[in-house]
Amino acid sequence: MAAAGQNFYELYRRSSIGAALTDTLDDLITSNHLDPQLAMKILANFDRAITEVLQEKVRSRLSFKGSLHTYRFCDEVWTFQLKNITFKMENGGQVVSANKVKIVACTAKPTGTT
């Protein structure tokens, strides 16, 4: 469980479920059914909840192979852009290929927190 007052990254807001939540909150704000401040609290709670669930519940592993196109390190965040990627699930499972993939990696504990 995360410590009280810990900051969470906003990485998952651009996922399909994060985008759906953001669109719904925007619609509720536009129709005056929700205050913008409450919407921001909901998004902050989403950031916390999805980070915790992924950390605690997802145990699958995979390996990948491809060509590194670009990489960047800024503000404790690594961004990798890869080309011609092949992902292989653990235990000889499913193989998935993609032309381009972007991986964003952050420290597990943001700086400045206890």
Q: What is the CATH number of the domain that holds 86?
A: 2.30.18.10
- Residues 92, 49: Cα–Cα separation, whole Å: 31
Q: Look at residue 6 and tell me if it is in a domain.
A: no
Arithmetic mean of pLDDT over the chain: 86
pLDDT higher than 50, residue 3: no
Both ends of the chain: CA-CA distance in Å? Answer: 13
Q: Which domain holds residue 21?
A: 11-57
pLDDT bracket for residue 58 (50, 70, 90)? confident
pLDDT higher than 50, residue 96: yes
Q: Look at residue 30 and tell me if it is in a domain.
A: yes
Residues 85 and 69 in one domain: yes
pLDDT higher than 50, residue 103: yes
Residues 100 and 87 in one domain: yes
Q: What pTM was computed for the model? A: 0.66
Counted domains in the chain: 2
Q: Look at residue 52 and tell me if it is in a domain.
A: yes
Residues 49 and 67 in one domain: no
pLDDT for position 11? 82
Residues 79 and 94 in one domain: yes
pLDDT for position 81? 96
pLDDT for position 7? 65
Residues 98 and 72 in one domain: yes
